[in-house]
């Protein structure tokens, strides 16, 4: 079994939104609108993972997760500004922690680990790029690290 895996998810990284509340019969229920783009993002993560997972076995111990988000620069930016901004830090929405929540949820559903509470080491970055994508690296840790 491989203890490390890196893969790319093409498309704009999307943050996990807060659940909405509605009442049915006097009882509250939490839900995410079916049209929210986070559903497509999570599905793309699962597809990308299963495409490279091979003989992946569900991790039962601590995990290191690295998530590198790349956001496409707006078309309205000049060529000069695009060259200057390539690879620089992206400091606007979505929040990095919300993107990681969506990634963890998708990887849990894909069977990478038993529960996302196993993620003991976590790194996330957001940068400007030519195209939007997310690079995800999963590594099984030794408990003694």
Per-residue pLDDT of the chain (145 residues; tens, 9 = 90+): 458 999 999 999 999 988 788 888 888 888 788 888 999 999 999 999 999 998 899 999 999 999 999 999 999 999 999 999 999 999 999 999 999 999 999 999 999 999 999 999 999 999 999 999 999 999 999 877 7
> What 8-state DSSP symbol labels residue 59?
B
Decide: helix, strand or coil at residue 54: coil
Instruction: Give CATH for domain 4-140.
Output: 3.30.1330.70
For the chain, give me the number of helices (H) and strands (E)?
3, 6
- Distance of alpha carbon 96 from the chain centroid: 9
Strand ranges in the chain using DSSP code E only, listed in sequence order: 4-10, 20-24, 27-31, 63-72, 119-129, 133-140
Decide: helix, strand or coil at residue 109: helix
What is the C-alpha separation between 60 and 25, in angstroms, rounded?
41
Which residues touch 121 (CB under 8 Å, ≥6 apart)? 62, 63, 64, 65, 141, 145
What is the C-alpha separation between 32 and 14, in angstroms, rounded?
14
Which residues touch 24 (CB under 8 Å, ≥6 apart)? none
What is the C-alpha separation between 98 and 7, in angstroms, rounded?
20
Global pTM value: 0.90
The full set of domain ranges for the chain reads: 4-140
């Amino acid at each position: 079994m491989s203890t490390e895996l890196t893969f790319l998810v093409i498309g704009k990284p999307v943050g996990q939104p807060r659940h909405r509340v509605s009442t049915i019969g006097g009882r509250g229920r939490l839900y995410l609108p079916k049209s929210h783009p986070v559903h497509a993002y999570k599905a793309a993560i699962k597809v990308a993972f299963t495409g490279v997972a091979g003989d992946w076995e569900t991790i039962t111990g601590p995990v290191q997760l690295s998530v590198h988000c790349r956001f496409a620069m707006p078309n309205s930016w000049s060529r000069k500004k695009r060259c200057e901004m390539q690879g620089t830090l992206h400091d606007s929405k979505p929040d990095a922690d919300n993107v990681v929540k969506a990634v963890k949820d998708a990887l849990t559903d894909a069977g990478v680990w038993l529960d996302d509470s196993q993620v003991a080491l976590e790194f996330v970055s957001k940068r400007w790029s030519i195209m939007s994508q997310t690079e995800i690296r999963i590594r099984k840790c030794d408990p003694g690290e």
